[in-house]
């Protein structure tokens, strides 16, 4: 494998990692508060769809990315009604939510977007000087704006979780909600807020797929990236630094399929293997991460003590 191909793989890897990283940092907030949002893929799909729709209507890449935020927030509200207010099982609710979104977005796509042929995406913006560093230079510092923004966002989320009272409260209710409740925290409201914020970020991840890869929506365009983000979160042990690394790992493993034909030994392997590579890497990562623990109260709906079952 020559130098140029390696750089290209790394570079595409970083770009492909962006949606995963957005989704992962959003999901960290949810899971820290004790919600396992299996509906993450549906939220990403929602973000992707509305971005494609706005892009089709207005041609503005910026607007397309921004509109994902309220779309994701709405998803978060809807999910919080189910997960928090009604206390439904999070895993099956998330799965059905995904099914719902697939149905809605596919139907809307076939009605409104099949005719749109776009090839508009964000262009790279290089950071002077830094981008000339060999190998990592072009890979990290000659990327679209979204890459730089997501890194800032990841740092912001890290600060939110570790350096604020809000983060402390989230950690408490994710670990031992009863302790938070008796300390006076409103467990349900905090979880809802976490969901709204978290899902907004996840939706931006979906929008970033559209905005960086040509602007065209396809049914099920997320192809499981939401679930890969779930794996990244637990692998990264809920620390945004490790999560960013994990996202990069998966981004690179996805990038391989595009370069496979350029490298002789890689081209001799059936192309399906490279397409399957990110999924296999995810499985391996989940196995390795078995020691990583979710917060103790994850995926368990919280019922205040002393309340009668509704």
Stretch that binds other proteins, among 119-127, 241-249, 260-268, 294-302 (CB under 8 A): 294-302
Work out whether 197 is an interface residue with other proteins (CB under 8 A). no
| Nearest distance from C-beta of residue 175 to other proteins, angstroms | 5
Query: What are φ and ψ of residue 120, in 5° steps?
Result: -110, 125
Stretch that binds other proteins, among 7-15, 48-56, 132-140, 275-283 (CB under 8 A): 275-283
- x/- mask, other proteins, residues 2-41, rule CB under 8 A, reads ------------------------------------x---
* Residues between 82 and 101 that touch other proteins (CB under 8 A): 82, 86, 88-89, 91-93, 95-100
Q: Cα(74)–Cα(92) distance, rounded to whole angstroms?
A: 20
- Please state the length of the chain: 310
Out of 183, 214, 241, 258, which residue is the one contacting other proteins (CB under 8 A)? 183
Identify which of 86, 294, 85 has the alpha carbon closest to the alpha carbon of residue 171: 294
Helix (H, G, I), strand (E, B) or coil at 237: coil
Instruction: Provide the 10 A C-beta neighbour count for residue 37.
Output: 33
- x/- mask, other proteins, residues 47-86, rule CB under 8 A, reads ----------------------------------xx---x
Helix (H, G, I), strand (E, B) or coil at 294: coil
Work out whether 268 is an interface residue with other proteins (CB under 8 A). no
Q: How many residues bind other proteins (CB under 8 A)?
A: 76
Question: How far is residue 4 from each of residues 8, 10, 82, 148, 164, measured CA to CA in Å?
Answer: 6, 10, 49, 23, 44
Instruction: Provide the 10 A C-beta neighbour count for residue 116.
Output: 15
Q: Cα(137)–Cα(141) distance, rounded to whole angstroms?
A: 5
Out of 77, 110, 127, 133, which residue is the one contacting other proteins (CB under 8 A)? 110
* Residues between 153 and 182 that touch other proteins (CB under 8 A): 163-169, 171-172, 175-182
């Amino acid at each position: 494998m020559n130098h140029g191909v390696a750089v290209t793989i790394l570079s595409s890897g970083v770009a492909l990692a962006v949606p995963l990283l957005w989704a992962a940092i959003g999901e960290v907030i949810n899971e820290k508060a004790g919600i396992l949002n299996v509906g993450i893929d549906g939220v990403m799909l929602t973000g992707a769809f509305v971005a494609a729709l706005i892009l089709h209507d207005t041609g503005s890449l910026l607007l397309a990315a921004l509109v994902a935020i309220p779309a994701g927030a709405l998803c978060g509200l809807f999910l919080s009604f189910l997960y928090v207010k009604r206390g439904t099982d999070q895993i099956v609710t998330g799965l059905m939510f995904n099914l719902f979104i697939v149905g809605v977005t596919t139907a809307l796509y076939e009605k409104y977007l099949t005719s749109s042929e776009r090839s508009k995406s964000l262009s790279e913006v290089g950071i002077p000087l830094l981008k000339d560093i060999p190998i990592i230079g072009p890979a990290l510092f000659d990327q679209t704006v979204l890459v730089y923004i997501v890194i800032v966002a990841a740092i912001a989320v890290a600060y939110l979780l570790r350096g604020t009272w809000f983060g402390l409260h989230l950690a408490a209710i994710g670990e031992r909600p009863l302790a938070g409740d008796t300390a006076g925290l409103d467990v349900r409201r905090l979880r809802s807020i976490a969901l709204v914020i978290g899902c907004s970020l996840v939706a931006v991840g979906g929008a970033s797929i559209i905005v960086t890869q040509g602007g065209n929506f396809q049914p099920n365009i997320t192809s499981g990236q939401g679930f890969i983000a779930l794996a990244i979160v637990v692998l990264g042990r809920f620390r945004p630094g490790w999560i960013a690394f994990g996202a990069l790992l998966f981004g690179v493993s996805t990038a391989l399929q595009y370069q496979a034909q350029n490298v002789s030994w890689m081209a001799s392997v059936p192309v399906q293997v490279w397409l399957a590579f990110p999924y296999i890497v995810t499985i391996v990562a989940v196995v390795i991460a078995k020691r990583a623990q979710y917060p103790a109260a994850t995926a368990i709906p919280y019922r205040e003590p002393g309340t009668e079952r509704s």
